[in-house]
Structure 1
């Protein structure tokens, strides 16, 4: 086994330990943690499982039988896992740890967040190492469009963490539509990343950028509708919303156990606006890309 492969295995062993430690520490705290904390646990468990599978595949040298480039997959996963663990660390800290009283439970929760941060750093180091190890390879997430997709996916995952609390949206069909918007756009983005990962664009060289532009334009329209409907039905009293934070009973407790419902609603509204801006920038990139390529083709054809 060469030195580079040993180094990658070392990274993965530490990643497995960190994500497993974070998950185990939070799981041992018991119930009553809230939807966001459960979502953080899901992220750590997901990263642990995928890292374990990747570790086994690499040790068994099964990569040639896979339908995609091993280098591209490893770099893609390292970037995604970095973003996921970072979001889990932040979400868990701001929605749960800060509300715990000083004592063993808070120390244990803080240790879990620390292990999550360590896992984030380890995944980032693996991504940087792969990027330096294969300078001749153009990795998807090292491109502008790839960075946009990484940001869109990361913000969507944070939104999912909050809307996993069904009390935020189950009482209004318009809010259920917003949840559908977040799910549809996330799925479209995942499909686009998967097609890039398996290099499907080589079969549709001319059409593929137009497909990505259409997918991004659809996401912009859907997110625009969510940006209107979510605040309208959450904070407008005429539509059953709560315009004032003080009107939310969950925000009135002196020692709340987690981030109150009204704050969660506001967080989703802010994240929706942020992701809409990212999608607009992504759409502008593809419009510019297609325009430049069309202009170059026209000049070449003269």
Structure 2
């Protein structure tokens, strides 16, 4: 039986989600009114805004009708993970649209960028509100290691998009790097799926200990990539005298930066995981 819960729309998180729905709707409406622009970056921006709008609206409806409590998933983990993902997606879309498609005299495009950055701020605040506080009992994805898992998976997706445009198959070392990106991405994605699907209790080994092993392994693997990737990729794509936005050298630089960024994320993830397992005193 459906029970309407108006309180879900009046609490701070509910208000933020309503604003996110409105702002994302305004953003993609402004962009669509300008007209379709070809290219994968434009498609990514539109997908990000439409996806975040749709999922946030579904979350509002499910919570307002109390159907969220009847779903066979960890709802808090799902909403927190989505807020983190939406923060990253909207931030990326905001930056890409500002860099590639906005000009000084483009009023509608500038307005779209403003609303997009406001939406990013709203989702970031939601992450802060839903994140687990010290000593608070919550789902894994509400903790810092859980949010980092979403971040790691998202950064890996950005790496895959850029890698696909490069001829990395020329060197076995670059193939190793892509294999490491893929392996660590799959591990992070599995952790997210198992958590949202409430399957951690069925895990045949202590999940926290397995997570630490996976994090340490990911750090070691990413260290090898941090050395091997720049060494080979800049031999394959040396800096040219003229380099457009999507030239091979620029893509190589982006992937290198994302590699070091994810390495730092995995190190922080490992530190937090050690702290939660070995240095947290049970209440």
Once residues 119 and 230 of structure 1 are traced to their aligned partners in structure 2, the CA distance between those partners, rounded to angstroms, is 34
Q: What do the CA deviations read for 1:170-212 (whole angstroms, capped 9, x no partner)?
A: 6636445544543432232122123233443344496212221
Task: Answer with 1 or 2: which has the greater Rg.
Answer: 1
Normalization by structure 1: what TM-score?
0.73
1:120 counterpart residue number: 120
- Does 2:258 align with 1:263? no
Q: What do the CA deviations read for 1:242-268 (whole angstroms, capped 9, x no partner)?
A: 32242xx5x1xxxx5x45442222011
The correspondence of residues 43-54 of structure 1 with structure 2, limited to 5 A, is 43-54=48-59
- Among 73, 76, 99, the residue aligned to 1:71: 76
Structure 1, unaligned stretches of length 5 or more?
A: 297-302
Question: Alignment length, in residue pairs?
Answer: 273
Once residues 51 and 167 of structure 1 are traced to their aligned partners in structure 2, the CA distance between those partners, rounded to angstroms, is 32
Q: Displacement of 1:269 after TM fit?
A: 0.6
- Does 2:157 align with 1:151? no
The verdict on how the C-alpha distance between 1:112 and 1:152 changes in structure 2, with shifts beyond 3 A counting, is same
The correspondence of residues 182-221 of structure 1 with structure 2, limited to 5 A, is 182-204=181-203, 207-221=206-220
Q: Displacement of 1:44 after TM fit?
A: 2.0
Retained in 2: the 8 A contact 1:36–1:162?
A: no
Once residues 20 and 218 of structure 1 are traced to their aligned partners in structure 2, the CA distance between those partners, rounded to angstroms, is 41
Q: Displacement of 1:150 after TM fit?
A: 3.9
The verdict on how the C-alpha distance between 1:102 and 1:264 changes in structure 2, with shifts beyond 3 A counting, is same
Q: What do the CA deviations read for 1:46-80 (whole angstroms, capped 9, x no partner)?
A: 21222232233223321232123333332332233
Once residues 223 and 208 of structure 1 are traced to their aligned partners in structure 2, the CA distance between those partners, rounded to angstroms, is 22
Q: Displacement of 1:275 after TM fit?
A: 0.7
2:36 counterpart residue number: 30
The correspondence of residues 80-119 of structure 1 with structure 2, limited to 5 A, is 80-94=85-99, 96-97=100-101, 101-104=103-106, 107-119=107-119
Structure 2, unaligned stretches of length 5 or more?
A: none
1:277 counterpart residue number: 264
- Among 5, 9, 18, the residue aligned to 2:9: 5
Retained in 1: the 8 A contact 2:24–2:53?
A: yes
- Among 234, 237, 241, the residue aligned to 1:242: 237
Once residues 226 and 169 of structure 2 are traced to their aligned partners in structure 1, the CA distance between those partners, rounded to angstroms, is 18
Aligned-partner SS, 1:54: helix
The verdict on how the C-alpha distance between 1:76 and 1:103 changes in structure 2, with shifts beyond 3 A counting, is same
- Does 2:170 align with 1:172? yes
What is the RMSD of the two structures over their aligned residues, measured on CA atoms? Answer: 3.5
The verdict on how the C-alpha distance between 1:18 and 1:129 changes in structure 2, with shifts beyond 3 A counting, is same
Once residues 57 and 9 of structure 1 are traced to their aligned partners in structure 2, the CA distance between those partners, rounded to angstroms, is 12
Retained in 1: the 8 A contact 2:20–2:122?
A: yes
Retained in 2: the 8 A contact 1:83–1:154?
A: yes
Q: What do the CA deviations read for 1:254-294 (whole angstroms, capped 9, x no partner)?
A: xx5x454422220111110121122133234445655558x
